[in-house]
Amino acid sequence: MTHQTTVAILGAGSMAEALIGGIAKTNGGKAPHITVLNANNRKRLNQLHAAYGVHAAQSYEEAVKGKDVIVLAIKPHNVQEVADSLVSLLDPQKQLVISVAAGIKLETLESWLPADTAVIRAMPNTSARVLASATTLSIGTYATEWQLAFAKTLFSSIGTVTVVDEQQMDAATGIAGSGPAYIYYVAEAMLNAAIAEGLSPAEARALINQTIGGAAKQLSNSSKSPKDLYKEIMSPNGTTEAAIAHLDHSSAQELFQQAIHQAVKRSAAIGASFERDPIHKHQ
């Protein structure tokens, strides 16, 4: 992203701040080229302004007028209302709309916005705060390759980017969008176990943080499968073998797969609930 590029972020929740914070870290800690609008919480906007130097807008018109990119960092149930507020303000020939709202399909977004609006669907995760998001992108009907390249550059500032066909976005949401929460859930279980076994919370946290970080680095740096990597740690009648045997006996992997499938199903259901007949498309 160049310094000439202006971005409006509509929404000021955790995902918006993750994106703002990640971008700011690549720009000396501040992001004055970003305008943020959060209609319901002025205090929150002031906090983001103080932390990152973003411009806090007072209205949709102020937020989006003349901006190169508009990011919809809002909850899915709010997207249609916001889109309706943008219809008279957007210039489809000049502006790109990026949605990070889970589940809502490109076709639906395009039907809510002015005809021929360039739309890209993105699913980052909250590891954007530490420039380590795994973001997936899908390109809409009217978005150009240049606009896709721009979106890739934007989200590359906060981690990695993978471009997928839209039919894969629900799976990507279940894996990467929700993924950090699964790791934190496992970390919580490890922390509780460590404390129950006599370690102090501080000792346990330090050990767990390094263990998870080290394992992630191994996964990134090795061509071996996850199974190969954990098998390497398992010696006959050893501690790791005892732990993995218990997990297998409890069908832990199957439970995890079922949990992820629930996330994927929920993403698809959100999208289906917002589908609209094409006759409602703005002209």
Going by the annotation, the residues of the binding site for NADP(+) are 10-15, 73-76
Q: 111: Cβ–Cβ under 8 A, 6 or more apart, which residues?
A: 276, 278, 280, 281, 282
Distance separating alpha carbons of residues 52 and 24, to the nearest angstrom: 7
Q: Which residues are annotated as a binding site?
A: 10-15, 73-76
Please give the torsion angle defined by the CA atoms of residues 253, 255, 261 and 266, in that order, rounded to the nearest 10 degrees.
Answer: -150
Q: 37: Cβ–Cβ under 8 A, 6 or more apart, which residues?
A: 8, 9, 10, 11, 12, 45, 56, 57, 58, 59, 60, 62, 63
Can you tell me which residue has the tokens 């909250």? 126
Quote the Cα angle for 221-225-157, to 5°.
40
CB 48 within 8 A of CB 20: yes
By three-state DSSP, how is residue 20 classified?
helix
Q: 242: Cβ–Cβ under 8 A, 6 or more apart, which residues?
A: none
Helix (H) or strand (E) holding 123: strand 118-123
